[in-house]
Amino acid sequence: MTQLYLQTWAEARTRFTNLLKDISEEQLTKELINTKNSAGFLIRHIGDVELLFAKNVFGAVELKVRAKTVAAQHDTGEWVNLKELLDYQQEAFETLKAILEKQSDDAWLQPITTNEFGTKTKAEALGRIISHTAYHAGQLSLTLKYGS
């Protein structure tokens, strides 16, 4: 089960990572009209939430997370360094992947309770992080294409 869930998550995440292949630093400040979040903010936010899931849902309790986008709840304009953002999202991917690999097949049915989404099994929580990343990848795609 763990390998299947891992493959599903990694494949779903390509909706996000494929956008990063051709992104330029100049695009990081792009925003859609009547929205609050820049392309750079969205990249950082995806990484922040993946790290929070690694720690709070999947058990990487020793992990220190500074989820700046979650804490600020809005774009502060600081997400303009492409290398830092790409490194950060890669670190988030590797961290979440490592803790997912440690899940036993039985663990996927274990309930987890968080303030953000209540009680879910770990399998359901994985669906939540997949949909979160895909949702913001869609926003990122539109921002890169139509933002100014």
* Arithmetic mean of pLDDT, 123-143: 97
Nearest in space to 10 (alpha carbons), one of 130, 105, 90: 130
- CA geometry: angle at 21 spanning 20 and 24, to 5°? 70
- CATH superfamily, domain 2-146, is dinb family like domain (1.20.120.450)
Model pTM score: 0.96
Mean pLDDT score, 106-131? 95
Under a CB-based contact definition with an 8 Å cutoff, are residues 53 and 125 in contact? yes
- Per-residue model confidence (pLDDT) at position 115: 87
How does pLDDT run across 42-97, given as a tens digit for each residue?
999 999 999 999 999 999 999 999 999 999 999 999 999 999 999 999 999 999 99
User: Quick check: 96 and 56 in contact, CB under 8 A?
Assistant: no
SS3 per-residue string spanning 5-21: HHHHHHHHHHHHHHHHC
Q: Return the pLDDT at 95.
A: 98
| b/e code 11-38 from CB counts within 10 Å (16+ = b) | ebbebbbebbeebeeebbbbbbeeeebb
Where do the domains of the chain lie?
2-146
State the pLDDT confidence band at 145, using cuts at 50, 70 and 90: very high
HSE-CB at 109 with a 13 A cutoff on CA atoms is 3
- 8-42 pLDDT, tens digit per residue, is 999 999 999 999 999 999 999 999 999 989 999 99
